[in-house]
Amino acid sequence: MSPPHLIDGLQYANWSEKIFRQMRDGGVDAVHVTIAYHEDFRETVRNITDWNLRFQRHSDLIMQAFTGDDIRHARATGRTAIIFGFQTPAPIEADIGLVEVVHRLGARFMQLSYNNQSLLATGCYEAEDPGLTRMGRQVVTEMNRVGLVVDMSHSADRSTLDAIAHSQRPIAITHANPAKWHPARRNKSDTVLRALAESGGMLGLSLYPHHLRDGSACTLQSFCDMVARTAELMSVDQIGIGSDLCQDQPDSVVEWMRVGRWTREIDYGEGSASAAGFPDQPDWFTDNRSLPGLADGLRNAGFSQEEADKIMGDNWLHFFDRNFGPLSDDRTNYTSAARA
């Protein structure tokens, strides 16, 4: 039996050799990294070229992953696998043909909306949510075909439920928590989480303070007790970690995330005028070296070793194996069985 994997379902750090070495010190096998928030196609390609340089300069520490087997290879060679994802559909602009192009460039996750309405779906900050658009339904079908995972982390409820219903393959919510535990706008209702579970989807539980009960003062026990309740709601096989770690980022970056180029006014999002920057991380989770400690917290919350291993990475790896490649009959049958 192979040893368990340690995988983080979402980070957006200010990438550096220091962070890559911390990943190795923490034994992190793979991280899904955000490479676009508001960027169009050409800007996203520029971000990919920046990552290509990182892969060259730090080839002893990191490598790009396109499949689950790439993650296994990274582990076997003492490196952390990097998986590209978008927190916006902006890189495909208004061209469905770019879905296959960005997948070939290495993208494996794409959110259908960030906080606002997009051409595809509605973000969680909009007052009205009409659900998936006509283009949204077509793009989901194309994403299913090529193996680009639908991510609804920042989307509103009806759009998320529409995506789950329309998608032929399981979708993901890579970084959010149950709203019942902490009623942040970005956290998800039990209705959404049940539908996600019934469709075979994955939830990455967030460690970003705005998504935590008590914010930066949230305790490890409180977080792990929440994970236990979520496992009861969804199944222990369909949850993982999606920390949303934004390590070493300047506050100008959180302004870019919230404001982009869509407004001339400052939008504080989950923050406020008096606390506009990044919030402090809880003291038990400050960088990638903290990830292994979550497993101890999960065991203390009543999970078995096998269950903790699933949550800390094995569930994500299984999900990647099923969903990063082209659609095939066996994957379609898996989704149908999950919904039965």
Percent of the chain with pLDDT over 70: 96
Mean pLDDT of 278-302: 97
Tens digit of each residue's pLDDT (9 = 90 or more) over 47-102? 999 999 999 999 999 999 999 999 999 999 999 999 999 999 999 999 999 999 99
pLDDT (0 to 100) of residue 64: 98
Give me the pLDDT at residue 338, please. Answer: 44
pLDDT over 80 at 152, yes or no: yes
pLDDT > 70? residue 334: no
**Is pLDDT above 60 for 12?**
yes
- For the chain, percent of residues with pLDDT exceeding 90: 91
- 330 falls in which pLDDT band (50, 70, 90)? very low
Please tell me the predicted confidence (pLDDT) of residue 1: 61
Write down the pLDDT at residue 329. 52
Q: If DSSP states are collapsed to H, E and C, what string results for the chain? A: CCCCCCEEEEECCCCCHHHHHHHHHCCCCEEEEEEECCCCHHHHHHHHHHHHHHHHHCCCCEEECCCHHHHHHHHHCCCEEEEEEECCCHHHCCCCCHHHHHHHCCEEEEECCCCCCCCCCCECCCCCCCCCCHHHHHHHHHHHHHCCEEECCCECHHHHHHHHHHCCCCCEECCCCECCCCCCCCCECHHHHHHHHHCCCEEEECCCHHHCCCHHHCCHHHHHHHHHHHHHHHCHHHEEECCCECCCCCHHHHHHHHHCCCCCCCCCCCCECCECCCCCCCCCCCCHHHHHHHHHHHHHCCCCHHHHHHHHHHHHHHHHHHHCCCCCHHHHHHHHHHHC
Mean pLDDT confidence for 183-196: 97
Q: What is the pLDDT, as a whole number, of residue 279? A: 93
Average pLDDT, the chain: 95
Question: pLDDT grade, residue 328 (50/70/90)?
Answer: confident
